[in-house]
Amino acid sequence: MLRYFTAGESHGPCLTAILEGFPAGFAVDVAALNHDLWRRQQGYGRGGRMAIEKDEAILKSGVRFGETLGSPITLVIENRDWKNWQKKMSADPADRDPDLAVTRPRPGHADLAGVLKYHHADVRNVLERASARETTARVAVGSFTKQLLAPFGIRVMAWVAEIGGIAADHSRLTPAEVFERAEHSAVRIADPAAEERIIAAIDQSKERGDTLGGVVEVVATGLPPGLGSHAHYDRKLDGRLGGALLSLQSAKGVEVGLGFRMARLPGSQVHDEIFFDGEKKEFVRRSNRCTRSTSARRTRPWPRSSARTCAPFRPRP
């Protein structure tokens, strides 16, 4: 069982993750992890902070000579701006300064809920942890975990499917092609026409002092049938993925396969019929509309399971 904790305030000295249960003897690629951290910081119209922080993970335990030991892996990402926050985010009671207190809770954040729940007088005591910067530690953990799956032929990819209501048309591409093209796009989208319109929309939104939302697609290929289980509610794959995705800051929806469109289509257009290929002696499907039935996913030419997250994309003035 893999487990992980994340810790760290947005303007604290660093973010820390402990990843426990990672197998021993695995050659981890720290450069690939740092590439994933770099990737998290890209995006047209991002806030100024992204320019300040060039995240890099430092390994403090669990890896020796490039290989995992089987012991807990500590990943530390230092906050480069810490020198400007040492006093304001100090752990030392002597540095307390009531004048610093943030007293105006922002909507769309955990600010108000947090101060009411934890009895804080300073909204900063909430916003520092509720910040999207916390996901940096999750990206680091996820990067090593993706590396662990790679030798099994499993690949996890994600890209932007739409921003501000402008959706990509990449329906004729394979997941690997979509991913490849999106990686070279300023808004991580595989459709140049959509990209152009999105950039214009972001610019306009910025001018108005407003923000846009978006949809991200996550696709895993090469998965064996039977991940998760039908046997108990807390082992079900859809539930676990859905729980993980909705735990992301600002995510307000998750779909698996066709998602909500399934609710509007007749069953005959929703399910993926199962055929048996007598020659190859394997089950095949000619559609992939419903991840619930992607058990035989490996037998399809371009397996594809998609979970969509509605993550508001927020350019700031």
Restricting to residues 84-143, name those near its own copies by CB under 8 A: 89-93, 95-96, 105-114, 116-120, 124-126, 128-130, 134, 138
Instruction: Give the range of 144-152, 168-176, 182-190, 249-257 binding its own copies by CB under 8 A.
Output: 249-257
Answer whether 310's CB lies under 8 Å from 251's CB. Answer: yes
The values of phi and psi at residue 249, to 5°, are: -55, 130
Among 42, 52, 247, 277, binds its own copies (CB under 8 A): 247
Considering the complex, state which of residue 177 and residue 316 has its C-beta at the smaller distance from its own copies: 316
Write down the least CB distance from residue 42 to its own copies, Å.
20
Instruction: Give the range of 45-53, 61-69, 150-158, 184-192 binding its own copies by CB under 8 A.
Output: 61-69
Considering the complex, state which of residue 82 and residue 176 has its C-beta at the smaller distance from its own copies: 82
Among 191, 292, 303, 304, binds its own copies (CB under 8 A): 292
CA atoms within 13 A on the CB side of 232: 2
The residues near 16 (Cβ < 8 Å, ≥ 6 apart) are: 6, 7, 8, 74, 75, 76, 77, 137
Residues 23-42 that bind its own copies (CB under 8 A): 24-25, 27, 30
Considering the complex, state which of residue 143 and residue 294 has its C-beta at the smaller distance from its own copies: 294
CA atoms within 13 A on the CB side of 107: 0
By CB under 8 A, tell whether 49 contacts its own copies.
Answer: no
By CB under 8 A, tell whether 306 contacts its own copies.
Answer: no
By CB under 8 A, tell whether 153 contacts its own copies.
Answer: no
Give the number of other CB atoms < 10 A from CB of residue 237.
18
Token duo for residue 164: 């501000």
Answer whether 215's CB lies under 8 Å from 161's CB. Answer: yes
d(CA 135, CA 260): 27
Answer whether 147's CB lies under 8 Å from 166's CB. Answer: no
Write down the least CB distance from residue 189 to its own copies, Å.
14
Q: Say which DSSP state 72 is in.
A: P
By CB under 8 A, tell whether 304 contacts its own copies.
Answer: no
Instruction: Give the range of 41-49, 172-180, 184-192, 207-215 binding its own copies by CB under 8 A.
Output: 207-215
